Amino acid sequence: MALLEVRNLSKTFAGSPGVIDVNLSIQSGEIHALIGANGAGKSTLMKLLSGAYQGDQGEIYLNGQRVVIENPVHGKELGIHCVYQEVDTALVPSLTVGENLFLDCLPLIINWKTLFREAEEVLQKLNFPLDPKRKIDSLTLVEKQMVLLAKAFMQNAKIMIFDEPTAPLSGPETKILLQQICNLKEKGVGIIFISHRLQEVFALCDTLSVLRNGQLVLNRSVSATSPEVVVEAMFGEKRADGFVKKTASVGDPLLQANHLSDGGRVKDVTFQLRKGEILGIAGLVGAGKTELARLLFAASPRQQGDILWEGNPMYFSSPKQAIEAGFALVPEERRGEGLFVNESIRANLTLPILKTIAPWGWIRRQKEREHGQKIVDALSIKASHLEFPVERLSGGNQQKVVIGKWVGSDTKVLLLDEPTKGIDVQAKKELFYLLEELVAQGISIVYFTSEMDELAAISDTIYILYKGHITKKLGKEEMDPQTILYYASGGTNQDETDSA
Ligand SMILES: Nc1ncnc2c1ncn2[C@@H]1O[C@H](COP(=O)(O)OP(=O)(O)OP(=O)(O)O)[C@@H](O)[C@H]1O
Ligand SMILES: [Mg+2]
What is the chain's pLDDT, residue by residue, as a tens digit (500 residues)?
899 999 999 999 987 889 999 999 999 999 999 999 999 999 999 999 999 999 999 999 999 999 999 999 999 999 999 988 777 788 999 999 999 998 876 666 567 888 899 999 999 988 888 999 999 998 888 899 889 999 998 889 999 999 999 988 888 889 989 999 999 999 999 999 999 999 999 999 999 999 999 999 999 999 999 999 999 999 987 766 678 888 778 999 999 999 999 999 999 999 999 999 999 999 998 899 999 999 999 999 999 999 999 999 988 889 999 988 999 999 887 766 778 888 999 999 988 776 666 666 666 778 888 889 988 988 889 888 999 999 999 988 998 898 888 887 788 999 999 999 888 998 899 899 989 988 998 999 999 999 999 999 999 999 999 999 999 999 999 999 999 999 999 998 765 544 43
- 235, 261, 278: which is the final residue of a domain? 235
Task: Assess whether 294 and 194 both reside in one domain.
Answer: no
Q: Ligand 1 pocket test: which of 19, 44, 54 has the largest number of ligand atoms within 8 Å of its C-beta?
A: 44
Check: CB of residue 413 under 8 Å from CB of residue 273: yes
Q: Is residue 240 part of a domain?
A: no
* Number of Cβ atoms within 10 Å of the Cβ of 418: 25
Pairing between β-strand 269-274 and β-strand 253-261 as defined by DSSP bridges:
antiparallel
Strand partners, 280: 447, 462
Ligand with the closest atom to the CA of 345: 1
Closest residue by CA, ligand 1 atom 29: 39
Report d(CA 294, CA 319) in Å as an integer: 9
Q: Is 13 in the pocket of ligand 1 (CB under 6 A)?
A: yes
Could you give the 3-state DSSP secondary structure of residue 269?
Answer: strand
- 235, 264, 298: which is the final residue of a domain? 235
Task: Assess whether 218 and 334 both reside in one domain.
Answer: no
Task: Assess whether 289 and 363 both reside in one domain.
Answer: yes
Q: Is 16 in the pocket of ligand 1 (CB under 6 A)?
A: yes
Residue 244: per-residue pLDDT: 81
Residue 245: per-residue pLDDT: 82
- Can you give the residue range of the structural domain that contains 131? 4-235
Residue 500: per-residue pLDDT: 37
Report d(CA 157, CA 124) in Å as an integer: 17
Task: Assess whether 179 and 278 both reside in one domain.
Answer: no
Q: Is 421 in the pocket of ligand 1 (CB under 6 A)?
A: no
Q: Is residue 243 part of a domain?
A: no
Q: Is 84 in the pocket of ligand 1 (CB under 6 A)?
A: no
Ligand with the closest atom to the CA of 209: 1
Task: Assess whether 183 and 312 both reside in one domain.
Answer: no
Say which CATH number the domain at 127 has: 3.40.50.300
Ligand with the closest atom to the CA of 14: 1
Q: Is residue 387 part of a domain?
A: yes
Residue 499: per-residue pLDDT: 40
Could you give the 3-state DSSP secondary structure of residue 381?
Answer: coil
Report d(CA 335, CA 156) in Å as an integer: 32
Q: How many structural domains compose the chain?
A: 2
Give 494 Cα–ligand 1 centroid separation in angstroms: 47
Residue 31: per-residue pLDDT: 98
Closest residue by CA, ligand 1 atom 19: 39
Task: Assess whether 383 and 460 both reside in one domain.
Answer: yes
Q: Which atom of ligand 1 is nearest to the CA of 36?
A: 21
Q: Is 39 in the pocket of ligand 1 (CB under 6 A)?
A: yes
Closest residue by CA, ligand 1 atom 3: 392
* Strand order, beta sheet including 4-13: 16-26, 4-13, 57-62, 65-67
Residue 77: per-residue pLDDT: 94
Q: Is residue 245 part of a domain?
A: no
Q: Is residue 495 part of a domain?
A: yes
Task: Assess whether 223 and 370 both reside in one domain.
Answer: no
**What burial class does residue 19 get, using C-beta atoms within 10 Å of its C-beta: 0-12 exposed, 13-18 middle, 19+ buried?**
buried
Strand partners, 26: 4
Alpha helices in 1-140 (DSSP H): 42-50, 72-78, 97-101, 112-125
Task: Assess whether 339 and 416 both reside in one domain.
Answer: yes
Q: Is residue 266 part of a domain?
A: yes
Q: Is 75 in the pocket of ligand 1 (CB under 6 A)?
A: no
Give 112 Cα–ligand 2 centroid separation in angstroms: 39
Report d(CA 416, CA 455) in Å as an integer: 12
Q: DSSP string spanning 426-449? A: HHHHHHHHHHHHHHHTT-EEEEEE
Task: Assess whether 166 and 273 both reside in one domain.
Answer: no
Neighbours of ion ligand 2 (CB under 5 A): 43, 394-395
Q: Which atom of ligand 1 is nearest to the CA of 424?
A: 25
Any idea what DSSP says for residue 96? B
Q: Is 390 in the pocket of ligand 1 (CB under 6 A)?
A: no
Task: Assess whether 292 and 333 both reside in one domain.
Answer: yes
- 235, 267, 283: which is the final residue of a domain? 235
Closest residue by CA, ligand 1 atom 24: 38
Strand partners, 450: none
Report d(CA 423, CA 385) in Å as an integer: 20
Q: Is residue 360 part of a domain?
A: yes
Report d(CA 7, CA 26) in Å as an integer: 12
Closest residue by CA, ligand 1 atom 27: 395
Task: Assess whether 147 and 266 both reside in one domain.
Answer: no
Q: Is residue 77 part of a domain?
A: yes
Task: Assess whether 284 and 171 both reside in one domain.
Answer: no
